[in-house]
A and B are shown apart, each in its own frame.
Chain A
Amino acid sequence: AIQLTQSPSSLSASVGDRVTITCRASQGISSALAWYQQKPGKAPKLLIYDASSLESGVPSRFSGSGSGTDFTLTISSLQPEDFATYYCQQFNSYPRRFTFGPGTKVDIK
């Protein structure tokens, strides 16, 4: 099964900072990757799908890039409401199975 790793596992940043989170797949997955944001006590929220497509309603300061094995989620200017944990997710077709990365926690510096 394809495994996902994320780096860093946590980071501290200030409002206005540019933040970059990396997700690496153990083998090539083309652009088949999604990113989620989860705030404490809340369900995950879809941010990015197809590696770089912004989900409707998600602020444009969020962007995704990458393909193959290396992917990046970027927050261009961190806002107070962006302090959360971010997960990447991929999908195996045969057999069908979802896999999430271990998460990256973004907190206030």
Chain B
Amino acid sequence: QVQLQQSGPGLLKPSQTLSLTCVISGFSVSRNSWDWIRQSPSRGLEWLGRTYYNSKWYNEYAESVKSRITVTADTSKNQFSLQLNSVTPEDTAVYYCTRSVQWGAFDIWGQGTVVTVSS
């Protein structure tokens, strides 16, 4: 049974860096694609970015956060991470890590992390 367990701080101040980690159990991080998605009342569900392995590691990011985001994988810990720089209150949302299958549908989701950006 594949499971994703998220961890990371839930409260940040503006200009700080958001860092979340997603530990994978029951599946290898070197297979499939691993994505981050966030959800807020104002922006709805928003895909942020992904990492995947195909002879080497690749990344793909949403245009809306491309200048601020990094998604990385750690094969030794079988996990992947999100880093979002220079956060503002608009980055307040529930953040989810997910597994992507069938070219881009998200079949496994983490439990979600509520992230609040406030001074």
A interacts with B: no
